[in-house]
A and B are shown apart, each in its own frame.
Chain A
Amino acid sequence: MQAQTHRLRLFWRLLAGQRLVYACATLALVVASCFLYLVPLVPQIVIDGVFMAGEGEAAPSRLTAWAVERLGGETFLRQNLWLPALLILAFSAIAGAFTYLRGRWSARASESIIRRLRDQVYDQLQHLPCRYFDQAETGDLIQRATSDVETVRTFLTSHVVEIGRALIMFLVPLPLMLSIDWRMTLVSVLLMPVIVGFSVFFFLKVKSAFRQTDEAEAKLTTTVQENLAGIRVVRAFARQAFEEQKFGQANTTHRERDFRLYRILAWFWSSSDLICFLQRALVVCAGAWWVATGSLQVGAFFFFITAVGMFMWPLRQMGRILTDLGKAIVALDRIGEILGAARESAADQVAAPGPETLRGEIVFDRVSFAHAENSPVLREVSFRVPAGSSLAILGPSGSGKSTIINLLLRLYDHDAGEIRLDGHDLRELDRAFVRRQMSVVMQEPFLYSKTLRENLRLARPGANDEEIIEATTVAAVHDSIQRFAHRYDTLVGERGVTLSGGQRQRVAIARALVKAPAVLILDDALSAVDTDTEAAILAALAARAGHHTTILIAHRVSTVMHADQIIVLEQGRVTESGTHLALLERGGLYARLWQAQGEAAEDCERERLAGLAARAETAPP
C-alpha cells in the first residue's frame, strides 16, 4: 500500500510542470472526438430528414427535425446538398485540427517529462558516491537509464494516450446514441465487455509465451556473442562444426518459439477480430430488422454502423496496453531506485576556503578506513608531505595504496583520523574544490570518446595548444600523437582509434599536467609504459619539481627511489618511511627489495658466465 502511494507520488512529481499541458491535450481530445462523431451525424440527418422525409412509419427524431430546420428546411437542403457535404468536411477538419493539437500537446508534455527524467538520471549518476558504483553493475545501470526510461516513455507517449483515446471515444458518443435510439445503443455495446475482457485475459495468458520467445532470442544472441568473442579459440581448435551445431540448436529453438508466438497471435487476432465483426454484424442485422419493421430510421442506422466502427477498434487494443502497464510500473520503480539514492556530499558543502589555489601541503594524521566493518583497508596511516615535494608509496597490491588517493580526492570519506590540506580539515572543504586542486592518473585511465585535443583540454578548457604540447612532451606522447593521421584531432574511444595501454596512460598524464594542479597523483600510472620511457617521463617530471606536490604509487623500487619521501605500505599500515637512503639503512622490506635488484643483476651475470663457460666447452676446438 505504502509502495503504491510512493509510486503515485513519484509519478505525480514526474508530471510536474506538464500537468496543465496534459489537461489541454485531454480537452482537445474531447473536442476532437465530439466533432468526429458529428461527421456521421450529418448523413444521418440528411438521410432521415431529407431523403426519407415522409417515407416509412418512423418519424424523424427531434434532433433531426431541429437540425433540418436550422439548415434551412427540407426543401432547401434537397436542392443544396453541397451544404451538408461542406459540413462533413468542416467537422472533419475541425476534428483533425483538435486531433493535431492533442498530438502536439501530449507529445510536448511527455517528451518534456522524459527529457527531464533523462537529465535527472544522468545528473544523479554523476553525483552518486563511488561506494554506490562499487555495488552496482554497469550494465544494469545503463539498462535503467536507457530501456527503463524508454518503457516509461512508451507508457506516457503511447499508452496513456491510447487509453485516454479509447475511453473518450467510447464515452463521448454514448449520450448522442442514447438520444437517437436506446435499443440500438444497447446492441452496439453488447460485446464491448467481451472484446476488452478477452484481450486482457488473452495477453495475461500468453505472457509466458512472449517471455519464452524473448528468452530464446536472448539465448541466440548470447550464443553468437560468445562465439564471436571467442572466435580465436574456435579456430584454434577448429571447432566450427561444433559451434554451428550449437548455434543450430539455439536457432531452432528460437524458430519454434517464435512460430508458436505467431500461432498464438493468429488465434488472438482472428478471434478478437471475429468478436468485433460479430459486434458489427449484430448492429447491421438488428438495425436492418428494426428498419424493416419500421421502428428505426435508415440514417440513424447508418450512424450506429459508423459509430461502432469508431469506438470498437481502440477498445480492442486495451488488452495489450493494460497488460503492459505492469512493465511501466517496474521500470519506474527501477529508475526511482537510482533517483532515490543518496548523492555525494549532500550535507557537507561547507566553508568556501580562502585562496583559490592551494599550495599542496598534505597531512595524514592516523587515518583509518574500511569498506565494510571488520575489514580495515587503512589503519592509522600518518605522513606529511610539504608543498612542492614528492611522496612515493610502495607496497604490494591490496595494501591500500590506492585507497589513500581515493580518500585524498574525497571519492570516499575516511572513518577516523584527520586529513589536512594546507591545514584545512579535508572534510570541511567542498569536494569539487578539493578535486580541482589535484590531478590524478590511474592505472587504467579513462579517456572520453572525443578527440585527443578535447580530452587533453578537459581539465582546463582555457589551455592553449602550446601548453598542451608541452604537457604531451613531458608525458612522452607528443611524437606518437604526431604519427596519427589526424594528430591531435584523432578521435579516441569506441568510435575512434584504439590506443594501447601505454599510450592511454601517457595521454592521461599529459591531461593531468595540462590542469597544472597543486597536487599531481600518479597511481601506478606507468605500469604499461616500457622502462626507458618510464625513466624519461620521471626525469621530465623531476625537472618540474616544486611546481606541485607529487604523489607516486608504484610497485618498483626503481620508480620510487628518487622521491623526497618514500613510505612502504603493508596491509594498510605504514611499515617504513623516509628517504631512499634512510630506508636502505633501516634494512627493512625496502632495503631487501633494493638488494633484490642488485642480486638479480648479479645472478644474471653469473648465468651469463656459466653460459659462456658451457659454450666454451661445447665449442669445437
Chain B
Amino acid sequence: MSDVAFQEDEYHRQLDLALWRRVLRHARPYRRPLLGLSVAALVVATVEVFFPLATGWLIDEAVANGVSGRLYALAGFYFALCLLLSVCIFAFISFAGRVATGVAFDLREQAFTRLQQLSFAYFDVRPVGWLVTRVTADVSKISSLLPWFLLDLVWGGSLILGIAVAMLWINWPLALIVLAIMPPISLISVFFQRRMLGSSRLIRKTNSQMTAAFNEAITGVRTTKTLVREDEALREFQGLSSGMFQHCMRNALQSAAYLPMVMSLGSLGVGLVLWRGGVTLGSAEGSMTLGTLIAFMQFAAFLHMPVEELARRFTDLQSAQAAAERVQSLLDTEPAIADSPAVCARLAAHSADAPRDDVAIDGFSPRIERIAFRDVGFWYKPGEPVLQHFDLEVRMGQTIALVGATGGGKSTIVSLLARFYEPTEGRIEVDGVEYRERALEWWQSNFGIVLQSPVLFSGSVRENIRYGRLDATDEEVEAAARLVNAHGFISELSEGYDFDVGERGNRLSTGQRQLISLARAVIADPQVFILDEATSSVDTETERLIQDGVHRVLEGRLSFVIAHRLSTIRAADLILVIDAGRVVEQGTHAELMARRGRYHALYVGQFTRQREQAWLAGDATPSKAELR
C-alpha cells in the first residue's frame, strides 16, 4: 500500500523545457491578454529607457540655453512619460490577472473533473490532503507564475536591449564599458538565486516537519506524559528548530550578500562612466555632454534590475517545476475504470433517443434480475490475492450477508460489484452480460451504498438526504427519513431538516449520521443495495432504530450486507463466510448453525458480545426479541 508517489518530492536541477511547453499550452485560450501583457511590458521598458535620456536632455538644455521653450517641452514630455508608464502598469497587472485567474480556473476544473473519474486504486495510495494541495496550491503556483514570467521575459529582455541600443547609439565606447558589468551581474545572480532556491526548499521541508512534530506533540500528549518523554521529545524538536534556524540563516545570509554585490557592480559601472566619460567630456569629440554623462550613470545604476529580475523568474520556474509536474501528471492520468470504446459507441448511438423507461442509456434493459460472479479473483499485487475463485449467483429480492474476519475480502466483493475495482480474473455478469459491457454511469446509478463510517457533506440535513436523488421533493425527503426512523431525531434538531450538519457531518452523532446515510440511500430507490454495517457502538435506542430502518430498506431489493448485527445476518437469504479471500461456508442461518462450523463459532461469539453489551449498557430487561 505504501506507494512513494506522494512522498517528499525530488527536485530536479535542470529545467524541463518539454514539461513547461506542455504547461504553457494551458495558457493558449488567453492569447489576447497575453498579447496585451507583452505590449504593455514593451512600452514600460521603452519608457524606462527614455527617462534617463529625457533627464539628460533637460540638463543639457538647461545648461546650454537656460529657460527656453524646449525646456518646457521636455518637462511636458517627462510628465507624459510618467502618465504613460502608470497606464501601462495598470494594463499589465490587469492582463496578468486575467491570465493567472483564467489558467487557474481551467486547471482546477480539469484536475477536479479528472479526480472524479479516477478509480479508487488511485486514491488508495494518495492521502486526501496531498491531492487537495495539487488542486489548490500547486495550481496557484503555476498559474500565477505564467503571466509574470512572460511579462518579465518581455520587459527585462527589451529593457536590456533598449538600454544597450540607446547607449551604443549615443556613445559606443562608453556603452561597451557599461555593458561589461552585465556578465558578472548575471553570473552572480544565477549563482545566488540557485543557492537561495536550495535553502528555501530546505526551509519549506523543515517547516512541514515541524508542523508534523507539533501535531504529534498535541495528539500524543497523553502518551508522551505517560512515557515521561517530554524532555526527549523536546530535544528531538530542538533538532528540527535548530535545523530551521540554520536553513533560515543560510537563506538570509545569501540574500544579505547577494544584493550588496550586485549594487556594488552597478556602482562600478557608475564610477567607470564618471571616469571614462569625464575624460572625454571636455574633449572636442562632441558627442559627450554632461546630460549624457548623467544619463549613462543612471543606466549603469539601473542595469542590474532587469538582469536580477530575469534570473529570479527562471529560478521561480525551477521552483515551480515540481508543482507543474504533479499537476500535469494528474491531468495525464487516465482513469483505469472507464467505459470501453464499444460501450461509448453504444452510448452515443442511444444518446439521441428520447429517454425511455424500458431502455437504459446503453441500450440494454434497465432492470437487474440476476447478478453472477464467475470465478472472480482480485489482487493489488500479483502473488498476493485478496479474493480468489469467487462464485456466486443471486436474484433480485435476495439479501446476501457477508461475514468473517476483517481483511478477509468482504469489502473487496462489494467494491468489485459496484465496479469501484474490476476483477483481475473472472467475470461479473448482469443478466448474462459481462458488466464491463454496460455503461459505468448506468451501473453505478443503480446502487445504494451505506458505508461503515458514513460520510456526510456540509450542508443541511435535507441537502444530505437529497444527495440520493437530486430532484426529490421535500415530502419525499421526509418520507425517506421516516422510513429509516430518522425523522424523529431530525425534527428535534434546532432547525429540523435545515439543520447544518457541519463539515463531514461532525455536528451529528455517529448513530445520527448512520440514519441519515440510510435515508440518503433509500431515497435513491436503488435496485441494488450495499450496506457495510458499522461496528462502532451507538446507544441502545439508536441501535434499535437503525436495525429497524435497515430491515425496511433491504425489502424488495437485491442487497449485499457486510453484516455485524445478528438480526441482519439472520434475516439474510444467503450467508457467505469469507476468510482469507475465499468462501469457507455458505448457506442460510439455519443450515450454517446446524453445521456447527466457522459460522457457528462466529455467531455464538457475536451473540454473547452483543448481549453483554446490552446488559452492561444498563438495558435492564434485554428481552430476547430485542436482541434479534
Would you call B97 and A125 a contact (CB within 8 A)?
Answer: no
CB-CB contacts below 8 Å: B252-277 with A = 252-253, 255-257, 259-261, 263-264, 266-268, 270-272, 274-276
Would you call B116 and A244 a contact (CB within 8 A)?
Answer: yes
Q: A273-B89, A298-B63 are in contact. Are A557 and B253 (CB under 8 A)?
A: no
Minimum distance in angstroms from A621 CB to a CB of chain B: 18
Is A21 an interface position by the 8 A CB rule? no
Q: In the bound complex, how far is the Cα of B207 from the Cα of A273, in angstroms? A: 36
Minimum distance in angstroms from B46 CB to a CB of chain A: 15
Q: In the bound complex, how far is the Cα of B228 from the Cα of A438, in angstroms? A: 10
Q: Mark B86-99, 1 if CB is under 8 A from A, else 0.
A: 11011101101110
Chain A contact residues: helix, strand, loop or mixed: helix
Can you list 13 contacts pairing A with B, beta carbon distance less than 8 Å? A115-B244, A118-B244, A122-B217, A122-B234, A126-B230, A157-B252, A236-B444, A236-B449, A237-B445, A269-B93, A270-B89, A278-B79, A435-B228
Is A225 an interface position by the 8 A CB rule? yes
Q: In the bound complex, how far is the Cα of B127 from the Cα of A187, in angstroms? A: 61
Q: A51-B290, A611-B594, A615-B590 are in contact. Are A248 and B218 (CB under 8 A)?
A: no
Would you call A146 and B211 a contact (CB within 8 A)?
Answer: yes
Is A6 an interface position by the 8 A CB rule? no
Is B7 an interface position by the 8 A CB rule? yes
Is A133 an interface position by the 8 A CB rule? yes
Q: Which residues of B contact A179 (CB under 8 A)?
A: none
Q: Mark A120-137, 1 if CB is under 8 A from B, else 0.
A: 001101111010010000
Q: A111-B252, A125-B217, A611-B591 are in contact. Are A396 and B128 (CB under 8 A)?
A: no
Q: Mark B225-260, 1 if CB is under 8 A from A, else 0.
A: 111111011100110011011001100110111011
Which of A195-203, A372-380, A414-422, A597-605 faces chain B? A597-605
Q: Which residues of B contact A234 (CB under 8 A)?
A: 116
Which of B10-18, B364-372, B385-393, B611-619 faces chain A? B611-619
CB-CB contacts below 8 Å: A430-465 with B = 431-432, 435-436, 438-440, 442, 445-446, 448-449, 458-459, 461
Is A407 an interface position by the 8 A CB rule? no
Q: In the bound complex, how far is the Cα of B127 from the Cα of A385, in angstroms? A: 46
Residue of B nearest to A275 (CB): B86
Q: A263-B94, A409-B225 are in contact. Are A269 and B264 (CB under 8 A)?
A: no
Minimum distance in angstroms from B229 CB to a CB of chain A: 6
Would you call A85 and B272 a contact (CB within 8 A)?
Answer: yes
Would you call B96 and A262 a contact (CB within 8 A)?
Answer: yes
Would you call A145 and B214 a contact (CB within 8 A)?
Answer: yes
Minimum distance in angstroms from A330 CB to a CB of chain B: 19
Minimum distance in angstroms from A110 CB to a CB of chain B: 8
Q: In the bound complex, how far is the Cα of B613 from the Cα of A432, in angstroms? A: 36
Q: Which residues of A contact B101 (CB under 8 A)?
A: 255, 258-259, 262
Apart from A236-B451, A570-B618, A608-B593, 16 more pairs, CB < 8 Å: A89-B264, A97-B260, A138-B215, A157-B252, A225-B132, A228-B131, A230-B504, A231-B123, A242-B470, A247-B112, A288-B74, A396-B617, A431-B225, A531-B605, A555-B613, A592-B615
Would you call B90 and A556 a contact (CB within 8 A)?
Answer: no
Would you call A85 and B59 a contact (CB within 8 A)?
Answer: no
Q: A84-B274, A97-B260 are in contact. Are A449 and B612 (CB under 8 A)?
A: no
Q: A99-B259, A119-B234, A263-B94 are in contact. Are A608 and B82 (CB under 8 A)?
A: no
Q: In the bound complex, how far is the Cα of B616 from the Cα of A556, in angstroms? A: 9
Q: In the bound complex, how far is the Cα of B217 from the Cα of A145, in angstroms? A: 11
Q: Mark A224-254, 1 if CB is under 8 A from B, else 0.
A: 1111111111111111101110011001101
The residue in A52, A95, A128, A146 that gathers the most chain B C-beta atoms within 10 A of its C-beta is A146
Q: Mark A90-113, 1 if CB is under 8 A from B, else 0.
A: 011101110110111001100110
Q: Mark A481-506, 1 if CB is under 8 A from B, else 0.
A: 00000000000001111101000000
Q: Which residues of A contact B456 (CB under 8 A)?
A: 230
Q: In the bound complex, how far is the Cα of B232 from the Cα of A488, in angstroms? A: 21
Would you call B234 and A497 a contact (CB within 8 A)?
Answer: no
Is B467 an interface position by the 8 A CB rule? yes
Is A551 an interface position by the 8 A CB rule? no
Q: A262-B93, A292-B67 are in contact. Are A604 and B228 (CB under 8 A)?
A: no
Is A576 an interface position by the 8 A CB rule? no
Out of A97, A259, A436, name the residue touching B228 (CB < 8 Å): A436
Is B604 an interface position by the 8 A CB rule? yes
Is B473 an interface position by the 8 A CB rule? no
Would you call B66 and A293 a contact (CB within 8 A)?
Answer: yes
Out of B90, B261, B418, name the residue touching A270 (CB < 8 Å): B90
Number of interface residues of B (CB under 8 A): 163
Would you call B66 and A448 a contact (CB within 8 A)?
Answer: no
Would you call A115 and B97 a contact (CB within 8 A)?
Answer: no
Q: In the bound complex, how far is the Cα of B298 from the Cα of A81, in angstroms? A: 18
Q: A39-B270, A409-B226 are in contact. Are A51 and B132 (CB under 8 A)?
A: no
Q: A81-B278, A593-B612, A596-B608 are in contact. Are A226 and B458 (CB under 8 A)?
A: yes
Is A141 an interface position by the 8 A CB rule? yes
Q: In the bound complex, how far is the Cα of B227 from the Cα of A142, in angstroms? A: 22
Q: In the bound complex, how far is the Cα of B530 from the Cα of A615, in angstroms? A: 29
Q: Which residues of B contact A277 (CB under 8 A)?
A: 81-82, 85-86
Is B297 an interface position by the 8 A CB rule? yes
Out of B55, B93, B441, name the residue touching A284 (CB < 8 Å): B55
Is A349 an interface position by the 8 A CB rule? no
Would you call B245 and A556 a contact (CB within 8 A)?
Answer: no
Would you call A244 and B274 a contact (CB within 8 A)?
Answer: no
Would you call A432 and B228 a contact (CB within 8 A)?
Answer: yes
Is A43 an interface position by the 8 A CB rule? yes
Is A88 an interface position by the 8 A CB rule? yes
Q: Which residues of B contact A339 (CB under 8 A)?
A: none
Q: Which residues of B contact A611 (CB under 8 A)?
A: 589-591, 593-594
Which of A214-222, A321-329, A359-367, A540-548 faces chain B? A214-222
Q: A96-B261, A432-B228, A600-B604 are in contact. Are A288 and B136 (CB under 8 A)?
A: no
Minimum distance in angstroms from A601 CB to a CB of chain B: 6
Q: In the bound complex, how far is the Cα of B378 from the Cα of A41, in angstroms? A: 81
Q: In the bound complex, how far is the Cα of B226 from the Cα of A102, in angstroms? A: 46
Which of B102-110, B157-165, B542-550 faces chain A? B102-110
CB-CB contacts below 8 Å: A283-329 with B = 284-285, 288-289, 291-294, 298, 301-302, 305-306
Is A12 an interface position by the 8 A CB rule? no
Q: Which residues of A contact B96 (CB under 8 A)?
A: 262
Minimum distance in angstroms from B338 CB to a CB of chain A: 12
Is B352 an interface position by the 8 A CB rule? no
The residue in A270, A288, A448 that gathers the most chain B C-beta atoms within 10 A of its C-beta is A288
Would you call B455 and A89 a contact (CB within 8 A)?
Answer: no
Q: In the bound complex, how far is the Cα of B255 from the Cα of A157, in angstroms? A: 13
Residue of A nearest to B254 (CB): A103
Would you call B615 and A593 a contact (CB within 8 A)?
Answer: yes
Q: Which residues of A contact B467 (CB under 8 A)?
A: 233, 237, 239, 242
Out of B89, B115, B229, B234, name the residue touching A458 (CB < 8 Å): B229
Is B100 an interface position by the 8 A CB rule? yes
Q: In the bound complex, how far is the Cα of B390 from the Cα of A83, in angstroms? A: 93
Is A171 an interface position by the 8 A CB rule? no
Q: In the bound complex, how far is the Cα of B219 from the Cα of A133, in angstroms? A: 9
Would you call B58 and A288 a contact (CB within 8 A)?
Answer: yes
CB-CB contacts below 8 Å: A173-223 with B = 217, 220-222
Out of A55, A107, A251, name the residue touching B105 (CB < 8 Å): A251
Would you call A52 and B290 a contact (CB within 8 A)?
Answer: yes
Q: Which residues of B contact A267 (CB under 8 A)?
A: 90
Minimum distance in angstroms from B610 CB to a CB of chain A: 8
Minimum distance in angstroms from B620 CB to a CB of chain A: 10
Would you call B274 and A81 a contact (CB within 8 A)?
Answer: yes
Q: In the bound complex, how far is the Cα of B77 from the Cα of A285, in angstroms? A: 11
Is B184 an interface position by the 8 A CB rule? no
Is A42 an interface position by the 8 A CB rule? yes
Would you call B108 and A238 a contact (CB within 8 A)?
Answer: no
CB-CB contacts below 8 Å: A19-44 with B = 39, 42-43
Q: Which residues of B contact A461 (CB under 8 A)?
A: 232
Q: In the bound complex, how far is the Cα of B294 from the Cα of A47, in angstroms? A: 10
Is B336 an interface position by the 8 A CB rule? no
